[in-house]
Amino acid sequence: MKLKSYDLAIADFNAVLTADDQNQEAYNNRGWCKKHKGDDQGACEDWKQSKKLGNGEAKIILKNNGC
């Protein structure tokens, strides 16, 4: 993600989520990639799913990003 290869990172997180749709970290990280690409709605959806799966930080992320 540091190289701003957000499309590649999103593809990688999609692959992780295909194998394990309960991976809260993959949802969280994919959300950040979407946010950096300007897809605020998609980012919020991923962070909400991450929160639903037990990510304690997601509540703060959602609040700080207006979700």
Which domains does the chain carry?
6-64 (1.25.40.10)
| Eight-state DSSP code of residue 56 | T
| Cα–Cα distance for residue pair 17/53, rounded to 1 Å | 13
Give the amino acid at 27: Y
Per-residue confidence in pLDDT tens, the chain, 67 aa: 456 799 999 999 999 999 999 999 999 999 999 999 999 999 999 999 999 999 999 999 999 999 9
| Cα–Cα distance for residue pair 29/3, rounded to 1 Å | 14
At 3 the pLDDT is 61
